[in-house]
Amino acid sequence: MLYGSECWALSKADVRKIDALDQWCLRRILDIRWRWYHRVSNCEVRSMTEQPPLMATVQKRRLVVWPPGQNGRDS
C-alpha cells in the first residue's frame, strides 16, 4: 500500500481518504462492525492494534528520503 509513498503529492482530501482507508482496513481485520448499540471509536481501534496512523509512516519515509532543509536537488 505504501509503495513509492515518499514521492506522493498529496492534497488534504487525499490525506483524509488515506486515513479513512487505513481505519476501514483495521476495522475489517479486527472484524469490528458498525452497530447502533456497539460503537468503537477510532482511538480504541488504534489502541487495540498498536499501529501508527498510515500518514505518520508516510511522513517518516519522506523525512528519510528528503531530510528537512534539502529539496532533492544536488547543490
- pLDDT, tens only, 13-65: 988 998 999 999 999 999 888 776 778 888 999 999 998 888 888 888 777 76
pLDDT band at 3 (very low <50, low <70, confident <90, very high): confident
The residue type found at 41 is: S
The answer to whether residue 74 sits within a structural domain is no
Where are the alpha helices (H) located in the chain, listed in sequence order? Answer: 12-30, 42-49, 54-65
pTM of this structure? 0.69
Q: Name the residue range of residue 46's domain.
A: 11-65
Structurally, the chain folds into a number of domains equal to: 1
Is the CB of residue 42 less than 8 Å from the CB of residue 23? Answer: yes
CA separation, residue 43 to residues 9, 39, 50 (Å): 27, 12, 10
Q: Which residue has the higher pLDDT, 73 or 39?
A: 39
The answer to whether residue 21 sits within a structural domain is yes
Q: Which residue has the cell 487525499?
A: 14
The answer to whether residue 15 sits within a structural domain is yes
Contacts of residues 66-71 at CB distance under 8 Å and 24 or more positions apart, as own/partner, are 66/6
Q: Which pLDDT score, from 0 to 100, does residue 62 have?
A: 78
The answer to whether residue 1 sits within a structural domain is no
The answer to whether residue 6 sits within a structural domain is no
Q: Which residue has the cell 544536488?
A: 74
